[in-house]
A and B are shown apart, each in its own frame.
Chain A
Amino acid sequence: MQYFVQQLINGLTLGSIYGLIAIGYTMVYGIIGMINFAHGDIFMVGAFTALIVFLVLGALFYSVPVVIALLVMMIVAMLLTSLYNWTIEKVAYRPLRGSFRLAPLITAIGMSIALSNFVQVTQGPRNKPIPPMVSQVYNINGISVSLKQIIIVVVTALLLALFWYLVNKTSLGRAQRACEQDRKMAALLGIDVDRTISITFIMGAALAAVAGTLFLMYYGVIAFSDGFTPGVKAFTAAVLGGIGSLPGAVLGGLMIGFIESMWSAYFSIDYKDVAAFSILAIVLIFLPSGILGRPEVEKV
């Protein structure tokens, strides 16, 4: 039982990170109906920005309290990563809006390749390890919970609450939901569609940057190629939950996190990704539009 709860906590941590990335996929998909393949690399750029900020802080000041360091890393990563996603949307996706469906998919794949190789060229191909920032571990009834895990879950919960408020209670969120339902109608009613889409990309990137910072803090290492696997997992999570649905993305992220940690704990760690992908396929056979997704109705 203790072992099971332990795995549940590990899964929750992992699932929080996936959920944060998955929201970026699902929001962009909801609003413009494209798979933003570069999102995994945006996550990696966020983690790398946090790494560089961490090193700069270390070089400039003798010692920085961990809370302030994390906060600064997170904020700088959110700002710069948003700038990246904003620029990418403007350069690579906006000119192709209204073009056929595969065109932005290909530019997104191109941007993903370009981003990861840009980081490789400028920062080198090696893994970048940092010394552990937070190392306290609490022991409750034989279940060990590290402070890192608590930070991840708490930060994720806070951000999700803020995000839920933004989408459901503000005029910005209303504009987003309107664009999601009918872009042309929203434009006719005076909503600046371009601006709303830009803000959607910025929000997705900011969440991915937080996920990147938390990832860096949790694992203590990042490399230029680390965007792909979490990106694909988060995308899987978004589809599993029903792409376009925000609660679905979080649910899917948590599910993928649980599946991975349970499978590695009880079966084989080698096949944890195979398990996650297979469960995706099985779920989609029975629920072709994900767990919380609305079925696509085609009008003739």
Chain B
Amino acid sequence: MAVTVSPERDTVATPVQRALKEGFYAGAISLGLFVLFIGLKTGQNISNELVVTTRWGLLAAVVIATAVGRFLYVAYGQPFMANQKIADVATGLLPGSVASRFFQLPAFVVAAVAAVLLFVFNSSLAGWVGAEPAGYLQFLRALAVIYVLACVIYYFRAFIHANFTKLGITALVLYPILVVAVLSLNAWSITGGLQGSLKWVDNFGIQILIYVMLAWGLNIVVGLAGLLDLGYVAFYALGAYAYALLATQFGLSFWILLPAAGAMAALWGVLLGFPVLRLRGDYLAIVTLAFGEIIRLVLINWREVTNGSAGISGIPKVSFFGLMSFNVSDPNYIAKVLGIVQSGAYYKIFLYYLILGLCLLTAFVTIRLRRLPVGRAWEALREDEIACRSLGINTTTTKLTAFATGAMFGGFAGSFFAARQGFVSPESFVFLESAIILAIVVLGGMGSLVGIAVAALVMIGGTEALRELDFLKQVFGQDFTPELYRMLLFGMAMVIVMLWKPRGFVGSREPTAFLKERRAVSSSFTKEGHG
């Protein structure tokens, strides 16, 4: 009896063949996805009618890029990543990590020498090669500097890992001084002197810290108590409007209104908490989302009080604890009192330290609360509500305190935001903000303060940095505006980071209460709660 082998069994697809097939499919799918949206563009003609114009070239480029990218990933990326996990048979060692191969001493020396040389001979080189290539030389120099710094960080990674919190706080405290000192002293083209350096304090420092504070506040509700809140921005809005209205109408000081705004937000947190106590999981999520939308819609439509979509402007600045003011016209203007030069820099730096202080307060309160009975009750509630109730914990008050505490920090952040902007409008409190804050909490690893701060730095700092990429205009032409792609990349980054680290940046938790020995718990073992 002849044994016939079916021809399909003989041919085992090689990785490259498989990759070709996958690449082809990816190209076909992206053609289907993009044929109408990239291939055609809707625009107005002279008589204001919609017409379509074609962009077949761009479509072809995108489709080919997708196909080639998928091909390369399947053919080389996947085998490489699989090999990383296989130990050498002879030595029993895992292959050296990508980082240790990337950061090597010879490369470090070359980069350091190149960076120094490029710094020293910057002007003479620029005169020698002309203005256009000099820009590329500066780019090269920046790359060399980044590589050297990354090498140093990589070398000291164990030390940095061990002392992360202390180093982080030191860096945050020194940040504005260093930035202003370094960037304003050097007349580099990219920084633009003192004003340029203040932009780094304002857009990066203060902006990121506001999100850190909001995310830490939401972390109490979502990360500790396990209640999914999709309307956190409502408390931020309440704090901002509380400060804006009371300060413009009654002329009260920031230092009185900060606790008042926090108390008001906490009150609303309790008011929201009461009706939703019985709801669980996604029902809770939609009611909190609805609450956030209700607050925003009321802010838009209650024009007599909130001035509608036009918002409230002319919100007074924060004073230096009532001792000194930051308004040039006031008699106790800081420059007059201290006898120094007039500058807008003091206010920016003061605001930076103010939000840093508020952030540290949030972190301190969170850390201490976790050790108190109420904090332990929150974590117990997150892990198992029924067990929690069986042990005699009052889940009603536990949930309400979580809502109220989280809301209070949202209110603090809101009043700071109003004082910093000098202007509030409902535009700033859309659902997208809630989503971003929640994303930061989850991406950071729920419950981990350090992870959340890192996530805020990456996500907010990353999108802010996209505003600074003007040099891309030289590559893609003058019509190219990197800002447009900001939120598109933000959304994609959320997806990619989540796929890469589903448990967030910090995937393990230190238990606050422990028996005999403190051990980190992988967060795969901790639940996220069902609200």
Contact = CB atoms under 8 A, between A and B. Distances in A.
Query: Do A and B assemble together?
Result: yes
Contact of B290 (A51, A53, A100, A277): A277
B446 A122 contact: no
B286 A236 contact: yes
Contacts of A113: 432, 435, 487-488, 490-491, 494
A55 B50 contact: yes
A123 interface: yes
Nearest to B434: A109
Interface string B265-278: 00000000001101
Given A118-B37, A122-B38, A106 B293 contact: no
B364 to A, nearest CB: 26
Given A29-B282, A114-B491, A121 B485 contact: yes
A149 interface: no
B394 to A, nearest CB: 19
A101 B37 contact: no
Contacts of A270: 297, 300-301
A107 B50 contact: no
Contacts of B38: 122
Interface string A118-148: 1111111010111100000000000000000
Interface residues of B, number: 63
B431 A117 contact: no
A59 B291 CA distance: 45
Given A53-B36, A122-B38, A236 B290 contact: yes
Q: Which of B32, B40, B291, B498 has the most CB of A within 10 A?
A: B498
A56 B36 CA distance: 10
Interface string A199-234: 000000000000000000000000000001000100
B487 A117 contact: yes
Contacts of A124: 41-43
Contacts of A80: 32-33, 36
Contact of A110 (B431, B439, B503): B439
B442 to A, nearest CB: 5
Nearest to A82: B32
B499 interface: yes
Interface string A25-68: 00001000001010000000000110111011001000000000
Interface string A64-95: 00000000000000001001100100011001
B222 to A, nearest CB: 8
A182 interface: no
Interface string B16-39: 000000000000010011001110
B283 interface: yes
Interface residues of A, number: 69
B51 A239 contact: no
Contact of B36 (A49, A107, A273, A280): A49
A293 B432 CA distance: 28
A285 interface: yes
A179 interface: no
B228 interface: yes
A102 B446 contact: yes
Contacts of A277: 290-291, 293-294
Nearest to A48: B37
A130 B286 CA distance: 34
A189 interface: no
Contacts of A239: 282-283, 286
A235 B438 CA distance: 19
B454 to A, nearest CB: 16
A278 B286 CA distance: 11
A265 interface: no
Contact of B33 (A83, A112, A290): A83
A107 B495 contact: yes
Contacts of B283: 239, 243, 284, 288-290
B289 interface: yes
Interface string A224-262: 000010001001100100010000000000000000000
Given A83-B33, A114-B495, A285 B293 contact: no
B473 interface: no
A236 B287 CA distance: 9
A274 B41 contact: no
Contacts of A105: 442
Interface in B364-413: 386
A300 interface: yes
A18 B276 CA distance: 24
A100 B281 CA distance: 13
B390 to A, nearest CB: 9
Contact of A51 (B42, B439, B446, B527): B42
B185 interface: no
A106 B491 CA distance: 10
A150 interface: no
Interface in B455-483: none
Contacts of A228: 431
A224 B341 CA distance: 49
Contacts of B502: 96, 99-100, 103
B493 interface: yes
Contacts of B228: 102
B50 A130 contact: yes
A215 B52 CA distance: 21
A93 to B, nearest CB: 10
A281 interface: yes
A26 B439 CA distance: 23
A111 interface: yes
B187 interface: no
A84 B37 CA distance: 12
B361 interface: no
B140 interface: no
Contacts of B495: 91-92, 107, 110-111, 114
B3 interface: no
A271 B301 contact: yes
A222 to B, nearest CB: 10
Contacts of B294: 274, 277-278
Given A100-B528, A118-B37, A235-B286, A112 B491 contact: yes
A285 B285 CA distance: 14
B529 to A, nearest CB: 9
A259 B51 CA distance: 37
18 contacts: A35-B285, A52-B36, A52-B40, A52-B42, A80-B33, A100-B503, A102-B228, A102-B528, A103-B498, A106-B442, A110-B492, A113-B435, A115-B491, A123-B41, A129-B50, A274-B298, A278-B294, A288-B280
Given A91-B495, A106-B498, A285-B275, 17 more contacts: A48-B37, A56-B40, A95-B499, A99-B502, A102-B528, A109-B438, A109-B439, A111-B495, A114-B495, A121-B485, A128-B42, A232-B431, A235-B289, A236-B290, A274-B294, A280-B290, A281-B275
